[in-house]
Amino acid sequence: MDTPTNRIELEDIVLDYADIEEARRMSGLRLILGAYTIPGPWRESGKGLFYVKGLAYTPVRTANRSRSEDEFGFDSASSVLEEWTGQASAPVAVWNDERPCSSWIDQIYLADRLNPDPPLLPENLNDRARMIGLIHLICGQQGLGWNCRHLIVKGALAELTPDNPWYARLKFIGEKYSYSTAVGDTAPQRIAEILNVLNAQLESQRQAGSKYFFGKRLSALDIFWACFTGVMLPLPEDQCPMATDYRPSYTATAPAIVQALTPQLVTHRDYIYKNYLELPIVF
């Protein structure tokens, strides 16, 4: 992995981002977001939850800078961000003066509370428990996104020398995700196992006449799946103008993953984006 040279400049994309100190004084809904020259899956999912609800929000920089220095979804530690939210990662959703929601499950509940229609989680508790479990397989610790980060770190550290400025950056990300050579080696199989579970759920729904992961309507699981597909198979360049130097890192090549990422799963991603979500990296 070489140092990026063909990145998309923030001035080409950014709309009205508030500085974090400014946002802290605001009321209403604010989303503290990370870098946006790549389709960061946690960031895009967080945006998607509120987008499908039709809820307007103020996008907020993760630090008081004119541009983000982090192409993998993290900013360097910001004292203001940590003081406000108790942690240093994005996305974070904040409603008025309530406690900031830095976890995906809290963001789901906040979106449903602010606008109950359409509901993001099933009313039936058994279905709700299963859906939350499947979302955790996608974006929770040791889940799909977590293991995709392991693969990015593994590939980068194998190619970069310690004197490369990006070596320390990738090593930092590896430490954040508890990377080790062992977990890097097992990541493709773990990802494939998760994809197999998701494909089985989608196939069961297809046989029941549904285009969605649960029931007959869009849910949080559909949103998280569509957004997290971007760390294995990004949307085409005309739909996802990510910095081109990063597209290879966000494209799965391990045979186990390629085989498990079925046409059915990819078609579902395309359907959700076409009918419900804004394209990634809109801002």
- Residue range 50-98, pLDDT digits in tens: 999 999 999 998 765 444 444 444 444 457 888 899 988 899 999 999 9
Share of the chain above pLDDT 70, in %: 87
pLDDT (tens digit, 9 = 90+) per residue, 92-141?
Answer: 999 999 999 999 999 999 999 999 999 999 999 999 999 999 999 999 99
What local confidence, expressed as pLDDT, does residue 159 receive? 87
- What pLDDT was estimated at residue 69? 42
Looking at every residue in the chain, the average pLDDT score rounds to 87
Question: Is it the case that residue 3 has pLDDT exceeding 90?
Answer: no
Residue 170 has pLDDT above 90, yes or no: no
The full set of domain ranges for the chain reads 10-114, 125-275
Q: What is the DSSP string of the chain?
A: -PPP-SPPPGGGT---PBPHHHHHT--SEEEE----SS--HHHHHHHHHHHTTT---EEE-SSSSSS---SSSB-S--HHHHHHHSSSBS-EEEETTSPPB-SHHHHHHHHHHH--SS-SS-SSHHHHHHHHHHHHHHHSTTSHHHHHHHHHHHHHHHH--TTSHHHHHHHHHHHHTT--HHHHHHHHHHHHHHHHHHHHHHHHHHHTT-SSSSTTS--HHHHHHHHHGGGTSPPPTTT----GGGTTTTS---HHHHHHS-HHHHHHHHHHHHHT-PPTT--
pLDDT of residue 127: 96
pLDDT at 35 over 60: no
The stretch 242-263 carries a mean pLDDT of 90
pLDDT at 1: 34
Domain 10-114 class? alpha beta
pLDDT tens figures, 204-224: 999 999 999 999 999 999 999
What is the pLDDT confidence band of residue 5, given thresholds at 50, 70 and 90? Answer: very low
Higher pLDDT: 64 or 38? It is 38
Q: Name the pTM for this structure.
A: 0.89
Q: What is the mean pLDDT of residues 15-19?
A: 78
What is the model's pLDDT at position 67? 41
pLDDT at 190 over 70: yes
Q: How much is the pLDDT for 74? A: 44
Would strands 92-95 and 58-60 be described as parallel, antiparallel, or unpaired?
Answer: unpaired
Closest CA to 241 of 271, 274, 279: 279
Q: Which residues contact 146 (CB under 8 A, 6 or more apart)?
A: 139, 140, 177
> Is there a contact between 156 and 249 (Cβ–Cβ < 8 Å)?
yes
Q: What is the pLDDT of residue 15?
A: 55
Instruction: Specify the pLDDT at position 186.
Output: 97
Over range 13-42, report the average pLDDT.
Answer: 83
Encoded amino acid at 232, one letter: M
Q: What is the pLDDT of residue 55?
A: 96
